[in-house]
Structure 1
Amino acid sequence: MKISVIGTGYVGLVSGTCFAEIGHTVTCIDIDKAKIEKLWNGESPIYEPGLNDLLTRNIKSERLKFSTGLESIKDSKSIFLAVGTPSGDDGSADLTYLFKAAEDVAKEISDDAIIVIKSTVPVGTCEKVRELVAKTTTKRFHIVNNPEFLKEGSAIEDFMRPDRVVIGHKDQYAADAMSELYEPLVKQGNPIYMMSNLSAEMTKYAANCFLATKISFINDIARLCDIVGADVNEVRKGISSDQRIGGHFLYPGPGYGGSCFPKDVKALLYTAKEYGTNLRIVEATEDVNDEQKLYMFDKMLKHYKGDLTGKTFALWGVAFKANTDDVRESPAIYTVSSLIDKGAKVTFFDPVAGENFLKVVGEKYRSSITEFNNKYDCLNGADALVTMTEWREFSFPDFDEIKSRLKHQVIFDARNLFKTQKVKEFGFDYYAIGKKI
């Protein structure tokens, strides 16, 4: 099948590349000329394990192409819209880019083109796109919702071996075409769920908000563990063995971040209010997460009796999670800004996210932050180590090395990476989230 993908961000680039990998002919389209040139050279603008290799292989096989123009749309049976839908100031999803993409695509399509909304969009967006396209073209077309369920850091695996594929449609022609498109990915029995466009839109938001709720739930439990003396790691094992609960997204930490959960939680809450109702559990999820971002910072304040002036804190990790260079809504941003506002300085090391982090922290804080290329070098002369991202290389460090580099033996472990007994054996003052220390 010939496919065009509008947008070469995280979702568009991964989807387009993976479609090419399973044999489809794909053109990824973006208005950013510099990004398109980089992609033609097999260089991904985002960090995602395995993506560069797939890019190179499929460019060489001529199944994957890139363009700043819309010429490929005329010959494409499916056109995927994978543009950003960022949060507005009121929490609503900004659909400006999506509507512009839909209008541009509508001018170029051939009869029976399938316009696939891959972007995460509020319930009811499909009908708005349908009306917009109908006003722009006289060609026959079909609108499909196909939400993505990719996890940053394992997106290739998630796409190639999906738990499920969700297709929102209004007619059998589109449903059959989407079944054909995804057939190579579901041969092992993973289901394709066909449903209405409205249900597909709701499914995406419901899934992300439920996962966000699991994170806030375990963080809430971790706080109570801190108070009563229980150990959240033991509690987690005790509840996650129940198949009705499971262990995914039940790891305490500094709160969720990234491009999806914060935005999608806000958008679903906004949609509920538009329809005159409230989602009280989702509201609580967001409230808990907002507090959790500074939970470890509060422990720092308490340890230093409220005075952080002149202190230096060395951060391991600034990405919102491991295996990505994405720093959007990263808890590290909130921790660093709070530290600097209290008169502290920050050093940090992150395997891939450093450049992106320095771009988003802003000039106000930039002069108080120093990046290092080695996890141990950033500790030199610092008053404390703070773990913010669960990169694998941080899990089993040389504690003698840490001890020799730090000015004072203090660790604030916002990811519960270290074994309490081992850290204490080395004489560190140790703070974690919900662990019995």
Structure 2
Amino acid sequence: MKIAVVGSGYVGLVTGVCLADFGHEVICVDQDASKIDALSKGEVPIFEPGLEALLEANVASGRLSFTTELAKSVAGADVVFIAVGTPSRRGDGHADLSFVYAVAREVAAAVSGFTVIATKSTVPVGTGDEVARIVRAINPGADVAVVSNPEFLREGAAIEDFKRPDRIIVGMDDERARAVMSEVYRPLYLNQAPIVFTDRRTAEITKYAANAFLAMKITFINEVADLCEASGANVQEVARGIGLDNRIGSKFLHPGPGYGGSCFPKDTAALVRIGQDFGSPMRLVETTAAVNDARKRDMSRKVIAACGGAVEGLTVGVLGLTFKPNTDDMREAPSIDIISDLQHAGARIVAFDPQGMKAAGVVMQDVAFADSAYTAATDADAVVLITEWNEFRSLDLARLKTVMKRPVFVDLRNVYPPSEMRRHGFSYTSVGRPDVEAMT
């Protein structure tokens, strides 16, 4: 099939590359000429494991190309994916749909023959109806079917998620689109990935509901962690105990400094606004967002407490800046607020992240960036582990202690057993666990 993907950001690029790898003829469109030029040369602007190699292979095969010319790309396409950003609108938390609607207008003017317009962007309920209205207004004779096909990609595991999805959601009101979208995802038949066909509005809400539910799981276990700390229980054992219940599941039950990234913060905010617009308030989601915002400040106070109640004049080494491992994404990363609070309290920050320091340099001020975990820890009065990159999971603790001024270690991801840290002579603080594990 001939497919055009409009928007070459995270979702659009992963979608285009993976569809090309399925054997489709894919052209990715973006108005940023410098980005298109870089992609045409095989230069990927984001860090996503495996993406660069897959892009290069499919460009070499001739199945994948990049352009700024939307009209030409859309005219010959069987399917046009809209994958542009829908950031939170300033001031009210609503999703900003201006990019989606602008693309819809351009696509409407350029389509020829029967074309499926599939929205990949995360959009509020009713957006597909508006896209269909825009197409009719711009080009009354256009033969199109507008569908909602939300993405469920985890940064750091996006290729695996696209190629081996839990499910594929397609919302439509034109039965002709069923055959087209089935053909798009036919290569996943061997993996037995279920395709759920529904109406557009249901598909749109499904995306928001999924992200909000996962955000609530994260926030729930963080509140349980606080209770465990206050009562002397172990949150990791609690998480295991409830996660073995198939009705609950073990994923997203890892306590830490709160969720961040490009999806959960803006999507929970948007869902709250959608509920308000329809007179159906999403009270659990409202509370989830509020608790998560406060969580980052709570972690700052935890670090300060571990340092004796003050960090004025102290050097704090920070390990991990991105909102999660295996990405260079700094959007809404907990490290931003934690570091800002520590600086406000008088601390000097030296940080290391395997992929995120370039992006962090744009959103952080007065942070010294190191070239390794041990360099970040050198002469530090405390080390704080914020993002659980694999290389931070097996640090040489004896070496780490040797280079530090004071052996204070704050583990906001519970990477290390308290008993091991005590054995190496660290003053160790983690999240939701007693100072000494029950089994030691």
TM-score when normalising by structure 2: 0.97
The offset of 1:306, in angstroms, is 4.2
Q: Is 1:344 matched up with 2:344? A: no
For structure 2, which runs of at least 5 residues remain unmatched after alignment? 436-440
Q: Which residue of 225, 240, 246 corresponds with 2:243?
A: 240
Distance in 2 of aligned mates of 1:279 and 1:72: 40
Equivalent position of 1:373 in the other structure: 371
Q: Which residue of 395, 402, 420 corresponds with 2:400?
A: 402
Equivalent position of 1:79 in the other structure: 80
Alignment deviations for residues 125-146 of structure 1 (CA, whole Å, 9 cap, x no partner): 1111111111111211110100
Q: Is 1:12 matched up with 2:15? A: no
Equivalent position of 2:222 in the other structure: 219
The offset of 1:374, in angstroms, is 1.0
Matches within 5 A, 1:314-393: 314-361=317-364, 366=365, 368-393=366-391
Distance in 2 of aligned mates of 1:15 and 1:185: 14
Distance in 2 of aligned mates of 1:300 and 1:322: 21
Range with greater deviation from structure 2 (185-194 or 205-214): 185-194
Matches within 5 A, 1:148-187: 148-187=151-190
Alignment deviations for residues 139-182 of structure 1 (CA, whole Å, 9 cap, x no partner): 11110100000100010010011111000001110111001110
The offset of 1:426, in angstroms, is 1.4
SS of 1:107's equivalent in the other structure is helix
Distance in 1 of aligned mates of 2:303 and 2:22: 50
The offset of 1:294, in angstroms, is 2.1
Equivalent position of 1:421 in the other structure: 419
Matches within 5 A, 1:231-270: 231-270=234-273
SS of 2:301's equivalent in the other structure is helix
Distance in 1 of aligned mates of 2:51 and 2:98: 28
User: What amino acid is aligned across from residue 9 of structure 1 in structure 2?
Assistant: G
SS of 2:406's equivalent in the other structure is coil
Equivalent position of 1:131 in the other structure: 133
Equivalent position of 1:286 in the other structure: 289
Equivalent position of 2:438 in the other structure: none
Matches within 5 A, 1:53-72: 53-70=53-70, 71-72=72-73
Contact kept, 8 Å, 1:296 with 1:433, in 2: the verdict is no
Distance in 1 of aligned mates of 2:337 and 2:370: 20
Distance in 1 of aligned mates of 2:147 and 2:163: 20
SS of 1:139's equivalent in the other structure is coil
Contact kept, 8 Å, 1:318 with 1:354, in 2: the verdict is yes
Contact kept, 8 Å, 2:307 with 2:382, in 1: the verdict is no
Distance in 1 of aligned mates of 2:390 and 2:305: 29
Distance in 2 of aligned mates of 1:228 and 1:186: 50
Contact kept, 8 Å, 2:307 with 2:408, in 1: the verdict is no
Contact kept, 8 Å, 1:317 with 1:391, in 2: the verdict is yes
Contact kept, 8 Å, 1:308 with 1:344, in 2: the verdict is yes
Matches within 5 A, 1:77-156: 77-88=78-89, 89-137=91-139, 138-156=141-159
Contact kept, 8 Å, 1:5 with 1:81, in 2: the verdict is yes
Distance in 1 of aligned mates of 2:60 and 2:102: 32
Equivalent position of 2:3 in the other structure: 3
Contact kept, 8 Å, 1:161 with 1:186, in 2: the verdict is no
Equivalent position of 1:436 in the other structure: 434
Contact kept, 8 Å, 1:162 with 1:186, in 2: the verdict is no
User: What amino acid is aligned across from residue 111 of structure 1 in structure 2?
Assistant: G
Distance in 1 of aligned mates of 2:62 and 2:354: 32
User: What amino acid is aligned across from residue 374 of structure 1 in structure 2?
Assistant: S
Q: Which residue of 272, 276, 279 corresponds with 1:276?
A: 279
SS of 1:397's equivalent in the other structure is coil
Equivalent position of 1:25 in the other structure: 25
Distance in 1 of aligned mates of 2:417 and 2:56: 41
Range with greater deviation from structure 2 (148-157 or 186-195): 186-195
For structure 1, which runs of at least 5 residues remain unmatched after alignment? none
Distance in 2 of aligned mates of 1:307 and 1:211: 35
The offset of 1:308, in angstroms, is 1.9
The offset of 1:305, in angstroms, is 5.0
User: What amino acid is aligned across from residue 255 of structure 1 in structure 2?
Assistant: G
Percent identity among equivalent residues?
Answer: 46
Contact kept, 8 Å, 1:296 with 1:412, in 2: the verdict is no
SS of 1:185's equivalent in the other structure is helix
The offset of 1:187, in angstroms, is 2.5
Distance in 1 of aligned mates of 2:305 and 2:388: 24
Q: Which residue of 208, 213, 223 corresponds with 1:210?
A: 213
User: What amino acid is aligned across from residue 261 of structure 1 in structure 2?
Assistant: F
Equivalent position of 1:50 in the other structure: 50
Contact kept, 8 Å, 2:306 with 2:410, in 1: the verdict is no
The offset of 1:34, in angstroms, is 1.1
Alignment deviations for residues 6-56 of structure 1 (CA, whole Å, 9 cap, x no partner): 001010000000000010000001111111111111121110000011111
The offset of 1:233, in angstroms, is 0.9
Distance in 2 of aligned mates of 1:179 and 1:282: 33
SS of 1:276's equivalent in the other structure is coil
The offset of 1:396, in angstroms, is 1.3
- Matched pairs, number: 432
The offset of 1:344, in angstroms, is 1.1
Alignment deviations for residues 70-99 of structure 1 (CA, whole Å, 9 cap, x no partner): 111100010000000000121100001111
Contact kept, 8 Å, 2:135 with 2:142, in 1: the verdict is no
Q: Which residue of 312, 316, 332 corresponds with 1:313?
A: 316
